[in-house]
Amino acid sequence: MLIIGIRLFFWGSQLSQAVRWAKCGYAGPFTQKKGMRFITVFFVIPVIPISGVMHLAECQRCKTRYQANASQPVLQETQIGRQS
Ligand SMILES: [Zn+2]
């Protein structure tokens, strides 16, 4: 018997340049991550991807993950030094 579920997997831990987060006020590098949603068996084994790759950035302080969409560079807009 298979136990099937849906789980979001994240990978990557590359640090990017400093940004200032709108939500918590943290100013510093964020962790760049990629994530994909998979159908899993036994909760841990990914078998079928059901979403595209999502690009996310994780705040190092509050661990909030922001979606970094290529067509909507939210993160670049909050980079320190680019704000007027
Ligand atoms: Zn934060």
Q: What CA dihedral angle connects 69, 61, 6 and 74, to 10 degrees?
A: -10
Identify residues whose C-beta is under 5 A from ligand 1, the ion.
21, 24, 26, 59, 61-62, 64
**Does the pTM exceed 0.85?**
no
Task: Give per-residue pLDDT as tens, 34-72.
Answer: 888 888 888 788 889 988 888 888 888 888 777 765 443
3-class secondary structure, 74: helix
Lookup result for tokens 């999502």: 54
Max Cα separation, the chain?
59
Taking residues 69-83, what's their average pLDDT? Answer: 39
Measured in Å, residue 48 CA sits from the centre of ligand 1 at 32
Measured in Å, residue 67 CA sits from the centre of ligand 1 at 13
Measured in Å, residue 52 CA sits from the centre of ligand 1 at 25
